[in-house]
Amino acid sequence: MSGSQTVKVYEEVLHQIKMYIEQHQLGPGDKLPSERELSELLNVGRSSIREAFRALELLGLIETRRGEGTFMRNYRPYHMVELLSTFILHEARTKEELATAKMMLEIEVTHQVMADLEQDHIEDLNKILSDYEQNKAMLHHAFFQYLFELSGNELLNRMWQLIDGFANTVHEFNFQASFYHNVTEGMEKKNLHGFRSWYEKELNLSNEN
């Protein structure tokens, strides 16, 4: 499935879930159908439902309770999802700005963390590289999630989680493993000269494939 087709399905799933919530007048604490039930109801793959749920959860609109299911929350008005998804997914320029925002946050946190990075942190990063070597998409998320957690900046972390959730629906971040090895080595040596150019090159290559 092409990137544009993926976005179209994602938009439709968000819209249909919104319609379901409105039609059934669901409020805070009400339970949503399961991924399987919504997949059958909307006639889309469970992965599309899962991606939509992830976006809704990042926005604080739903919560998943282990062993119980997915429930509505009252953290923010639901129209935020419609606003963000429509704006982000419909505007070509905004898609590029979204990838740029994600890149800037990830570059910034890497430089911030580098100053206080210790050897055990390097070992943790190398373990992440080893654990996710065969899954490029998960490697990118796990690598930078660790750095954001190290930063101790909860607001920055939440901003990144939100942008990351939407960015992954319109861009590929399947970077080569060598990118993360170079970043880890650069952080260890306290020298990340050229980091942005590495990132931009990998992003362009990833989305050409």
Q: Which domains does the chain have, with CATH numbers?
A: 3-81 (1.10.10.10), 92-208 (1.20.120)
pLDDT score at 93: 65
* Torsion sign across C-alpha atoms 163, 65, 8, 143: positive
pLDDT in tens, 97-149: 888 899 999 999 999 999 999 999 999 999 999 998 888 878 998 999 999 99
pLDDT score at 206: 75
Residues 196/100, Cβ–Cβ less than 8 Å: no
CA angle 17, 168, 200 (to 5 degrees): 160
Rounded Cα distance between 153 and 109, Å, is 9
What 8-state DSSP symbol labels residue 64?
E
pLDDT score at 2: 46
pLDDT score at 183: 95
Rounded Cα distance between 121 and 128, Å, is 11
Neighbouring C-beta atoms of residue 178, cutoff 10 Å: 10
pLDDT score at 151: 94
Residues 192/169, Cβ–Cβ less than 8 Å: no
Which amino acid, 29? G
As a dihedral over the C-alpha atoms of residue 104, residue 105, residue 106, residue 110, rounded to 10 degrees, the angle is 100
Rounded Cα distance between 95 and 207, Å, is 13
pLDDT score at 3: 46
pLDDT score at 204: 84
For the chain, residues with pLDDT lower than 50 are 1-4, 6, 75-81
Alpha helices by DSSP H, listed for the chain, are 3-23, 35-42, 46-58, 79-90, 92-114, 119-131, 136-151, 154-170, 177-188, 195-208
